[in-house]
Amino acid sequence: MSDISIIAWSWGAAAAVFVAVLWPLSVLRRDASVVDFWWGPGAAVMVLTAWTLAGGPTGLHALALVALIGTWGLRLGLTLGARRLRETAEDPRYAELRRAWDPGFRWKSLFVVFALQALLQGLVALGALAGVLAETSVPTALAGLGVAAAVGGLALEAAADRQLDRFKTAAPAGALCREGLRRHLRFPHYSGEMLFWAGVAAVAFDAGVIWAPLPALLVALLVTKVSGAPMLDEHLARTRPEHAEWKAATPAFVPDLRALGAAARRARG
């Protein structure tokens, strides 16, 4: 089986879950935000399927990519799945889409939400897929740096999600989380996401996939300009009175090193 065929089958396997399972579930629940549950696990399924169809390559690049994407996908799926179970209301981003695309949103969502997510999911995972299928080569320091960056991004995402979930449990409804990492960044989870995919791109590039940075750039575009931070910022601006002050004082994705230094000096007394 050619590499293109393997990628097509892997992409199709993940996309089928969007259409056959999650879209009907979203119609029954009247909740299109269930689509997010499959974003991470779906990418992991793609990479694992490609790795399996290729005969389980044992090169260090392939094993690193399978481990990184698998860990990222499992963590993200469990985190978002748990949130969906706790929260009965549809995510505000999708609720706004529903209002904008009604009447008939249930059918339109198959294309504007689920098919689009399946397309983007495959494009984002494409560099990792190609890296898994690349011919075995000896990793260089770039691959090591990529693994370190990806692990750092995972840790940052996990900490940001854990802090937000803990805050939502203890704080009154409608409160704005400005604790922990969000004292220094408005979107630490998106910073971690970009760092993770930059690390994946470095590993795939080291394996010989010269266009591997392109999916990482797509992730950066999505979270900074399209469906990530802009939509969340807009929602918080409408629903949290203190958002304007927080936005003016807090960087979006990259911390102010001078402010971090001052905070560290205060902590030392």
Going residue by residue through the chain (269 aa), what tens digit of pLDDT does each one get? 788 899 999 999 999 998 899 999 999 989 999 898 899 999 999 999 999 999 998 899 999 999 999 999 999 999 988 887 787 788 888 888 899 898 999 999 999 999 999 999 999 999 999 999 998 889 999 999 999 999 999 999 999 999 999 998 888 888 999 999 999 999 999 999 999 999 999 999 999 999 999 999 999 999 999 888 998 898 899 889 899 999 999 999 998 876 666 555 665 65
Burial 28-57 (b: 16+ CB within 10 A, else e): eeebbbbbbbbbbbbbbbbbbbbbebbeeb
Say how many domains are in the chain.
1
Residue indicated by tokens 């904008």: 100
Residue 67: which region, alpha, beta or left (left: phi > 0; alpha: psi -120 to 50)?
A: alpha
Q: List, in order, residues 6 or more apart from 266 with CB less than 8 Å away.
A: none
Residue 125 CA, chain-centre distance (Å), reads 11
Kindly state whether residue 144 falls inside one of the protein's structural domains: yes
Kindly state whether residue 269 falls inside one of the protein's structural domains: no
Locate all alpha helices (DSSP H) within the chain, ordered by sequence.
3-17, 23-29, 39-53, 60-86, 92-101, 105-109, 116-133, 141-170, 188-206, 213-221, 229-239, 243-249, 257-268
Contact 215, 127 (CB under 8 A): yes
Kindly state whether residue 154 falls inside one of the protein's structural domains: yes
Q: What is the pLDDT of residue 264?
A: 55
Kindly state whether residue 147 falls inside one of the protein's structural domains: yes
pTM to 2 decimals? 0.92
Q: Domain containing 159: what range?
A: 3-255
For 242, counting Cβ atoms within 10 Å of its Cβ (0-12 exposed, 13-18 middle, 19+ buried), the class is exposed
Q: What is the pLDDT of residue 87?
A: 78
How far the first Cα of the chain sits from its last, in Å, is 63
Kindly state whether residue 260 falls inside one of the protein's structural domains: no
Kindly state whether residue 261 falls inside one of the protein's structural domains: no
Q: What is the pLDDT of residue 259?
A: 62
Cα separation, 261 vs 239, in Å, equals 32
Of 78, 12, 20, whose CA–CA distance to 45 is shortest? 12
Kindly state whether residue 263 falls inside one of the protein's structural domains: no
Kindly state whether residue 266 falls inside one of the protein's structural domains: no
Q: What is the pLDDT of residue 68?
A: 98
